[in-house]
């Protein structure tokens, strides 16, 4: 005989409460050590997840991936990480089948619009969302929604989430050099006196400090043209877990590794 539905509901509530307590305790212990001030996530493995679980629909894996995004952001907020970047869509991803690209764009629009509604109704108080990348390559509706979400969360304090779309570091560097030359000329200087800092100021990602920790899911140890300029001193942590499988323990493990490597990372900050 199955237990009555109310009892199952009570049990789930109790279990959730217990898990939240456990998580808070784990984070308290974790926060005794240094916490990365900026974590970047290369979210890979959505389609493999869909295949593994026999999920139907071109966007099934990406939908599952979005659930991971919400959890990961909640954990980062609870841990007190100030900046998070999410590699949501690379320039290379435009080369996928047009139907898949459309599905991914539609899903992004759906989630952005949902987040705008939540932000307007006051449910996204502690998160500021910024989109970075060549936003002109997005369709008009998506671009407008991204801009709207940036506006409605602009004043929010707390976690800064940078969603990286239509991006590659090579593209970012080229546009930054072009932009810094324009700024030099407008300021009456010659572009020949361009400094590294001039270019850095014009990067899409100049709004955030360089990542301290990069976490890549999906079992592949590469950066895929993601913030390669900004990650020369970052710790790279890869995990075989597919992005929708990324859980609390993967994140805790990556931060513990960051803490264990602190001496080395600090030395590198000074020497390079």
DSSP 257: H
202 binds ligand IPE (CB under 6 A): no
> What crossing angle do the helices spanning 248-260 and 262-271 adopt, rounded to 10°?
60
Residues 206-235 touching ligand IPE, rule: CB under 6 A, are 218
Local structure of 139: helix, strand or coil: coil
Q: What's the 3-state SS for 68-107? A: HHHHHHHHHHHHCCCEEEEEEEEHHHHHCCHHHHHHHHHH
111 binds, among ligand IPE, Mg ion, none (CB under 5 to 8 A by kind): none
Q: What does the alpha-carbon distance between residue 33 and residue 27 come to, in Å, rounded to a whole number?
A: 10
Q: Least distance to ligand IPE from the beta carbon of 206, Å?
A: 22
Which residue do the tokens 């994140």 mark?
A: 251
The answer to whether residues 109 and 138 touch, using CB atoms and an 8 Å cutoff, is no
- Give the active site residue among 44, 59, 106, 198: 44
Which listed residue (27, 35, 40, 46) binds ligand IPE by CB under 6 A?
46
The answer to whether residues 235 and 257 touch, using CB atoms and an 8 Å cutoff, is yes
146 binds, among Mg ion, ligand IPE, none (CB under 5 to 8 A by kind): none
Per CB under 6 A, the segment of 18-26, 37-45, 184-192, 229-237 that binds ligand IPE is 37-45
198 binds Mg ion (CB under 5 A): no
198 binds ligand IPE (CB under 6 A): no
| CB burial string 11-22: b at 16+ within 10 A, e below | eeeeeeeeeeee
Site string for ligand IPE, 85-104 (x = CB under 6 A): ---xx---x-----------
Examine the residue annotation and report whether 44 is marked as an active-site residue of this protein.
Answer: yes
Local structure of 171: helix, strand or coil: helix
162 binds, among ligand IPE, Mg ion, none (CB under 5 to 8 A by kind): none
244 binds ligand IPE (CB under 6 A): no
Query: Facing residues of 90 across strands?
Result: 167
245 binds Mg ion (CB under 5 A): no
Parallel/antiparallel/unpaired status of strands 38-42 and 213-216: parallel
43 binds ligand IPE (CB under 6 A): yes
44 binds Mg ion (CB under 5 A): yes
105 binds, among Mg ion, ligand IPE, none (CB under 5 to 8 A by kind): none
Q: Least distance to Mg ion from the beta carbon of 75, Å?
A: 23
Catalytic residues: 44
The footprint of ligand IPE (CB under 6 A) covers 43-48, 88-89, 93, 218
């Amino acid at each position: 005989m199955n237990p009555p539905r109310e009892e199952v509901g009570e049990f789930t509530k109790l279990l959730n409460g217990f898990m939240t307590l456990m998580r808070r305790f784990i984070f308290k212990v974790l926060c005794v050590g240094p916490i990365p001030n900026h974590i970047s996530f290369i979210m890979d493995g959505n389609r493999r997840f869909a295949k593994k679980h026999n999920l139907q629909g071109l966007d099934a894996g990406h939908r599952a991936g979005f659930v991971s995004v919400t959890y990961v952001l909640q954990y980062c907020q609870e841990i007190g990480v100030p900046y998070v970047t999410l590699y949501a869509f690379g320039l290379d991803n435009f080369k996928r089948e047009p139907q898949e690209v459309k599905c991914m764009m539609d899903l992004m629009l759906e989630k952005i619009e949902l987040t705008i509604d939540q932000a307007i109704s006051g449910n996204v108080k502690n998160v500021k969302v910024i989109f970075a990348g060549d936003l002109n390559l997005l369709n008009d509706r998506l671009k407008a929604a991204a801009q709207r979400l940036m506006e409605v969360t602009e004043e929010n304090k707390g976690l800064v989430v940078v969603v990286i779309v239509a991006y590659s570091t090579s593209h970012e560097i080229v546009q930054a050099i072009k932009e810094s030359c324009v700024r030099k000329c407008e300021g009456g200087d010659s572009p020949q006196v361009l400094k590294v800092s001039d270019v850095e100021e014009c990067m899409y990602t100049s709004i955030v400090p360089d990542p301290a920790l990069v976490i890549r899911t999906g079992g592949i140890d590469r950066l895929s043209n993601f913030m390669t300029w900004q990650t020369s001193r970052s710790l790279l942590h890869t995990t075989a877990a597919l992005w929708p499988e990324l859980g609390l323990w993967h994140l805790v493990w990556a931060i513990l590794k960051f803490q264990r490597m602190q001496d080395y990372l600090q030395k590198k900050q000074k020497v390079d």
